[in-house]
A and B are shown apart, each in its own frame.
Chain A
C-alpha cells in the first residue's frame, strides 16, 4: 500500500496526457518556426526557392518565425512543464482539469489564428506582438485563465513559498499585464515616441517577465531534483528574484536608444539593464554553487547537460548585454545582426535549451520507457548546441562588420556584400540545429513506439495471468 501512495498521489496531481500534448504541440510549432527561419536565411542569400509567392513571403514568415517561438514553442512547453511542476510543488492539483484542457484548446486556437492572420497580412505593428488585433482579447482572456488555474494551488499552500513559486506567481501576474499593456496601448492610445517607449517595454517584458521567470522557476525546481541536493544559497535566491523583479521591468527603453525618447529615460534603461546583469550573475553563482563538485555527473546526465549549457549561454548573453546596452556599443551595433545573434542565443540557446532539457527529462516519465535511441540523444544535443553557438558567434561578428560598413558611409549594398559569408555560415549553423531537432523527433518517435510495445505486452501479460 505504501509503495502505491506516491504514484497514486502523482496521478491525482498531474494530468500527464495534458503535459504530453502541450509538449507535442510545442514541438510542432517549433518545426514551423525552424522552417520560417530557414526561409528567411535563404532569402538573405538570394536563394529562396519559394520566391514571389504571397503566402510564403519571407517578410510574413519572419513574423511567424518569432511568434511561433514565443507563443507556440515556449508558451506551450512552459505550460506543459508548469502542469508538472506546480501541482508537485504545492501538492495540490490545479483549479480544474476541465479548465486546463479548455485553456490548452483555446491556446492552440490563439497560436494557429496568429500564424494564419500573419500569413494573410493582418499583422499588428508591434514587435513580438504581431498577433492580429482581433486575437488579442482572446489571448488576454486565455492568460487570465492560466493565472487563475495555477494560482489556485499556490494560494492554498500555507506558509512561505519555495523559490520556484515566487517566480511562477509573479510571472502569471506580469505576463497578463505585459500582454495587455503592449498589445493595446501603442495600438489604440499612444502614438509616436511615447508609444515606442511602451512597445520597447513590451518587447523586453515579454522576455524578462514572462519567459525568464518561468524559465528560472523551472530551473530552481528541476536542478535540485536531478542533482538530489538543495539549492546552494537561499539568500542568493532571494537576491536574484527581487533584483529581477525590480530592475527587469525598467529596462525596456534600451531597445530604442538614440531615438527621440528622452535621454534621461534612455540612461535609466541602460543603468537598469546593467543592474539586471549583476543580479543574473548572483543567480548563476547560486547554480554553480549547487552543482559544485558534480561537474562530471552533469556531462553524463543529458537533461542537466542541457540546463547547464543553457546557463553558460545565459551568462554569455548577459555579459554581452551589459556591453551592448551602453551607448558606445549601440552606435556601432544597433540595427545589425549582432542583435539578431543575441536574440537567438537568449530565446533558443538559453530558454529553448532549458525546454529541451525539461523534455529530455519528462518524456521518458510521461511515456514510461527510456529514450529508445541514446546515440540520437547525443546527436540531438551536439548538433543543436554546436549549431546554436556557431550561429551566435557568426551573427555577432556579422553585426560588427555591418555596423562598421554603415559608419564608413560605404554604399548600402556593400553592407550586404560583406554580410554574405556570415549569412552562409548562419545557414549552415541553422541547418545543424534543424538536423539536431530531426534526431530529437526520430528519437521521440522510436521511444513512443517502444512505449506502445511495452504497454501492449503488459496488457497481454495481464490477460494471460487472469
Chain B
C-alpha cells in the first residue's frame, strides 16, 4: 500500500488532498453559507436607503462629480447607484491589476494594537460580498491597511496621492500612478480618467459599511493615533 501505484495515487494523491479540501475549504465555506454574497448594487443601495447614515460611498461618488463635472459627465453621466456600482467593480479590478493588494492588507487583527491604529477588528460578514471574491485580505503591509480607509481622506487628496504619493506623504515609497489621470502636467495631475474615478471610489468604499464610517469634513472626526 505504501509503495504501490494505487496506494500513492488513491490515498496520498486523491485521498489526503480531498480530506484537506473538505476540512479546510468546504467547512469554512459552509460555515458562512447563511451569509449570502451581496452584489455591489445591493451594497450601494443599502447605504443609500439607510436613513441613519450621514455619509455613504455614493456621497463620495457625487463629490467626485462636483469636483470634475465635465470629465465625470463624459465618463459616467449621472452619479446614480448603478454607475457607482460600476465604478466600484472597475475600481476593484484596478486594485487587483495594479497589485495594490500586495502592499496593502484589508484586515484588522485583534493583536499588535491594530484596533487602536486602524479601527474595529475585521469580521466575517464584512467580506460576504462580490467585491471580496477573491477576498483581498493581503499578506504584506508595506503601506497601511486599507480596510477602514474610506472617508478618511478627501477625494482631491486621493487624486494628488495617486498621481505622486510623495506630494502628500513625503516619506512614502508608493509608486506613481499618473495613468489614472488625463492631461497631466509636470506639477500635478489633470482630471481623473475612468480608472482614476473608479479606484478613488473603491478607496472611499473600503470600510463604508461600518457604522462609524468617518468623514474628513466632520469637525469631530478624531484623527487616529499613529497615522
Instruction: List residues of chain A with CB under 8 Å of any chain B CB.
Output: 43-46, 48, 51-52, 54, 57-60, 62-63, 121-127, 154-155, 157, 160-161, 166, 169-170, 172-174, 177-178, 181, 185-188, 190-199, 201, 203, 209, 238, 241-242, 245-246, 249-250, 252-253, 255-256, 258-262, 265, 268-269, 330-332, 334-336, 339-340, 403, 406-413, 416-417
Contact = CB atoms under 8 A, between A and B. Distances in A.
Given A170-B9, A188-B133, A209-B17, 13 more contacts: A121-B94, A174-B13, A181-B21, A181-B25, A191-B132, A194-B29, A195-B29, A250-B24, A261-B28, A262-B31, A265-B27, A339-B140, A409-B226
B130 A161 contact: no
B130 A191 contact: yes
Contacts of B179: 54
B102 A201 contact: no
Contacts of A123: 96-97, 99
B12 interface: yes
Nearest to A334: B109
27 contacts: A44-B173, A57-B177, A127-B102, A155-B5, A161-B4, A166-B8, A166-B12, A169-B5, A173-B14, A186-B133, A186-B134, A191-B132, A192-B135, A194-B28, A195-B135, A199-B134, A201-B25, A250-B19, A250-B23, A258-B109, A258-B110, A260-B124, A260-B127, A265-B27, A340-B140, A409-B226, A412-B226
B139 A255 contact: yes
Given A191-B128, A416-B173, A59 B17 contact: no
Contact of A63 (B19, B99, B225): B99
Contacts of B130: 191
B107 A260 contact: yes
A238 B2 contact: yes
B17 A268 contact: no
Contacts of B50: none
A126 B166 CA distance: 29
Nearest 5 CB-CB pairings of A with B: A192-B127, A59-B99, A249-B20, A173-B13, A121-B97
Contact of B24 (A59, A203, A265): A265
Given A197-B28, A258-B109, A187 B133 contact: yes
Nearest to A238: B2
A416 B141 CA distance: 11
Given A196-B137, A331-B112, A259 B175 contact: no
B171 interface: yes
Question: How large, as a class, is the contact surface on chain B?
Answer: 35 or more
Q: Interface on chain A toward B: helix, strand, loop, or mixed SS?
A: helix
B216 interface: no
Nearest to B25: A198
Contact of B134 (A124, A155, A253): A124
> Which of B109, B133, B227 gathers most chain A CB within 10 Å?
B133
A238 B130 CA distance: 45
Interface string B155-182: 0000000000010011111011111000
Interface in B10-61: 11-14, 16-17, 19-21, 23-25, 27-32, 35, 37
A245 B16 contact: yes
B220 interface: no
B140 to A, nearest CB: 6
Contacts of B134: 124-126, 186-187, 195, 199
Contacts of A172: 13
Given A59-B98, A174-B13, A339 B139 contact: yes
B139 A127 contact: yes
B171 A416 contact: yes
A188 B23 CA distance: 20
Nearest to B93: A121
A191 B135 contact: yes
B113 interface: yes
Interface stretch (B74-82, B115-123, B201-209): B115-123
A63 B102 CA distance: 9
A260 B122 contact: yes
B16 A246 contact: yes
A286 B178 CA distance: 55
Contact of A335 (B105, B169, B226): B105
Contact of B29 (A60, A197, A269, A403): A197
Contact of B113 (A57, A256, A407): A407
A196 B135 contact: yes
B136 interface: yes
B152 to A, nearest CB: 13
A266 B28 CA distance: 11
A303 to B, nearest CB: 27
B210 interface: no
B100 interface: yes
B9 A192 contact: no
Contacts of B98: 57, 59-60, 121
B141 to A, nearest CB: 4
A336 B141 CA distance: 6
Contacts of B123: 260
A86 to B, nearest CB: 14
Contacts of B190: none
B101 interface: yes
Nearest to A417: B171
B142 interface: yes
Given A192-B129, A193-B32, A409 B225 contact: yes
Contacts of A58: 99, 175
A52 B178 contact: yes
A203 B123 CA distance: 22
B133 A191 contact: yes
